[in-house]
């Protein structure tokens, strides 16, 4: 993890017009964090120090269970707040966030400006809209996931997460994301392969028939 300074810092603050979220001068409280792939932005159980706003990169949200196992809950993409619930509720972090690529996050020191944030209608309005969209998105995802078999959801996911027709994600992680067993995920990959939509190449899958995959994905909603 790197704290950017000087021109680099200014570059991101201006590019993403961070000031426009606030009605007071936020510059004394903003840090620009650069996280390398695999870094933890937030660790479960630790006390919140910053309200983060991710502007570049990709990250994953995890929760860990009593038995020590860890589940992938969601993929996070910018622009997104992280740690806003803890800002509002004075709790320790209940989830972890780990980057899956290099990430740029603006971090606002909570201790220094919690009062200012919670009294700034402009910021709060923005945060409300963010939370409300998050809630809507969550609802939609929940409905989808409840109503369709893995085959359809996986087709959609392969299309979304592949790069240049190559899908390369960890099965262990994806089975957790979908809340299905590892075994069943493999079954479903085998189905898609048999149907000629994808092909296994070494440790990854190549998309062979984008239309068929899309048709499967389109059965959802």
Binding site for its own copies (CB under 8 A): 63, 73, 84-85, 88-89, 118-121, 124-125, 127-129, 131-136, 138-139, 142-143, 145-147, 179
Interacting residues toward DNA by CB under 7 A? 149-151, 170-172, 179-184, 186-190, 200, 202-203
Q: Which is nearer to DNA, 141 or 200 (CB)?
A: 200
Q: Provide, rounded to whole angstroms, the least separation between the CB of residue 157 and its own copies.
A: 16
Q: Provide, rounded to whole angstroms, the least separation between the CB of residue 210 and DNA.
A: 21
Q: Provide, rounded to whole angstroms, the least separation between the CB of residue 145 and DNA.
A: 9
The entry of DNA, its own copies, none that residue 7 binds, CB within 5 to 8 Å by partner kind: none
Nearest-angstrom CA–CA distance, 120 and 125: 9
Q: Provide, rounded to whole angstroms, the least separation between the CB of residue 221 and its own copies.
A: 9
Q: Which is nearer to DNA, 52 or 167 (CB)?
A: 167
Q: Which is nearer to its own copies, 122 or 171 (CB)?
A: 122
Q: Which is nearer to DNA, 70 or 80 (CB)?
A: 70
């Amino acid at each position: 993890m790197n704290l950017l300074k000087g021109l680099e810092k200014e570059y991101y603050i201006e590019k993403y017009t961070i000031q426009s979220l606030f009605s007071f001068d936020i510059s004394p409280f903003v840090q620009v964090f650069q996280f390398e792939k695999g870094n933890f932005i937030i660790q479960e159980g630790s006390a919140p120090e910053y309200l983060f706003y991710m502007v570049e990169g990709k990250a994953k949200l995890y929760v860990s269970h009593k038995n020590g196992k860890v589940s992938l809950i969601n993929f996070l993409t910018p622009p997104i707040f992280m740690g806003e619930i803890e800002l509002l509720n004075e709790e320790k972090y209940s989830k972890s966030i780990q980057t899956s690529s290099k990430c740029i996050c603006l971090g606002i020191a909570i201790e220094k400006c919690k009062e200012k944030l919670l009294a700034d209608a402009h910021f709060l309005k923005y945060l409300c809209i963010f939370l409300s969209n998050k809630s809507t998105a969550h609802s939609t995802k929940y409905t989808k996931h409840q109503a369709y078999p893995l085959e359809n959801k996986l087709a959609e996911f392969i299309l979304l997460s592949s790069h240049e027709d190559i899908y390369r994600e960890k099965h262990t992680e994806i089975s957790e994301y979908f809340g299905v067993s590892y075994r069943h995920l493999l079954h479903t990959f085998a189905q898609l392969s048999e149907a000629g939509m994808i092909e296994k190449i070494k440790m990854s899958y190549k998309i062979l028939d984008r239309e068929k995959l899309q048709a499967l994905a389109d059965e959802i909603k």
